[in-house]
Amino acid sequence: MAETKQQLHIAMFPWLAFGHIIPSLELGKLIAQRKGHRISFISTPRNIDRLPKIPSDVAPLITLVKLPLPHVDNLPENAEATMDVPHHIIPYLKIAHDRLQEPLSKFLETSNPDWIIHDFAPYWLPPIAARLGISRAFFSVFNASTLCFIGPPKWLSSSSGTADGPDPGFKRTELEHFIVPPKWVPFPSKIVYRPYEAKKLFENTEANASGVSDFFRFMMVYLGTEVVAIKTCMEVEAEWLNLFGELLPIPVAPVGLLPPSPQEGNDNRDSTWDTISKWLNKQEKGSVVYVALGSEIRPSQEEFNELALGLEQSGCPFFWALRKSAGGESIELPEGFEKRTKGRGIVWTGWAPQFKILSHESIVGFVTHCGWSSVTEAFQFGRALILLPFIGDQGLIARLLEERQAGVEIPRKEEDGSFTRESVAQTLRLVMKDVEGQIYRDKAKEMTTIFGNKELQHRYVDKFVELLEKHRQIVTKG
């Protein structure tokens, strides 16, 4: 008689950033929906309250767990996610996050999940979970090429040249080490940082106000987890997934691209879409560029001016979703910009339903900061990408997409990262309408066969869950 599968209880604990929280929730929903396992989704009260509504078919299987965020000096009240604070305040958010150690331990002790699927930030979590007999999986919203570039634990550590540690020649201690492919990448690659990006990244290699560096967090998580699950798939990053599997001594599992489900908004948000769709409906099919730099990117006033004036100079119809920054810094549009572009473009300062906008037939291109989730959304609908990365892994994602001829980066100066209105206008015209840019438009359409193929993507989740089930069976029997 066939053995009946036991329902697993899986706790999920994403980092306090919506670029991490939403893919983590998407993964949780799919695990519940497809396999019937129970999910405890853990975050802070305000973040939980901002989540999209859980579909009724999986709601009974998903428990939303609110852990109040401890108070930390320098962290504004009600700031519970990276989108709520300017970039330089994020280390204080990490301090508050690290202070969730005790309430999270108590929750794990009382609820006794089989697995905890965690993020890169809680470097203190694996030993706690191991002591409680809970299996650990690190879920990375960073794609495989980025993880390979960051490097495996032995090259993140401070030791050098020991029997099992890195060769001293592998240790990256200089800025120059980040603008070339790492020595452990055995094939040709252009996925590197530019000098201006490497300067910013270099900060991550040093301890910040939270007391530890981001690299240290990665290293400790790798050393304490049992599986690494990555938001990617073989069809996009086969060579990088294979390499990462060789670099780590534990299973590496692609969980697919987790394309977000269309969200049902509340009435207010639906009326927002009515207004936006009316304008989009009036535009010619395949003529509009959508501009959105995510909820955390804060360009300088100069960058902002050049982007705006480049949009104007390009002559392309545009829809610009312009989020007001959490830090409250005031950034002004160039004088007379809205008047001069009236009718041709819209600057939208409220909430904008990105998924619905990208799916609209008038949209052909997307000026993006290269967040992996935004890229995933765009390729579901075959939108050609104009790449304008700013922080973190965005530069590496831009290089990956350029290697695949799936987007074009707006040229910047290597040293300071500045760009001009002319380079913005030129890149927009190339990707949106020039004959030479047809290759990028075609490649973006080709991407829908991977990114838009829900069945293909869901098979990755199924395989991942089978891995979790088998591992638990072995642990239980052992």
Supply the residues annotated as catalytic: 20, 119
Tokens of 473: 């069976």
Contacts (Cβ under 8 Å, ≥6 apart) of 204: 213, 214, 215
Give the dihedral sign, CA 238/172/192/140: positive
Contacts (Cβ under 8 Å, ≥6 apart) of 154: 164, 165, 166
Helix and strand numbers, DSSP H then E, in the chain: 19, 13
Buried/exposed 258-285: b ≥16 CB within 10 Å, e otherwise: bbbeeeebeeebeebbeebeebbeebee
Pairing mode of beta strands 345-348, 288-292: unpaired
**Identity (one letter) of the amino acid at 329?**
E
CA 204, CA 19: separation in Å to the nearest integer? Answer: 18
CA distances from 9 to 61, 141, 335 (A): 10, 22, 56
- For every residue of 34-90, which 3-state class applies, written as one string? HHCCEEEEEECHHHHHCCCCCCCCCHHHEEEEECCCCCCCCCCCCCCCHHHCCHHHH
Complete edge-to-edge strand list for the sheet that includes strand 407-409: 345-348, 318-321, 288-292, 363-368, 384-387, 407-409
Contacts (Cβ under 8 Å, ≥6 apart) of 41: 12, 24, 25, 28, 48, 62, 63, 64, 65
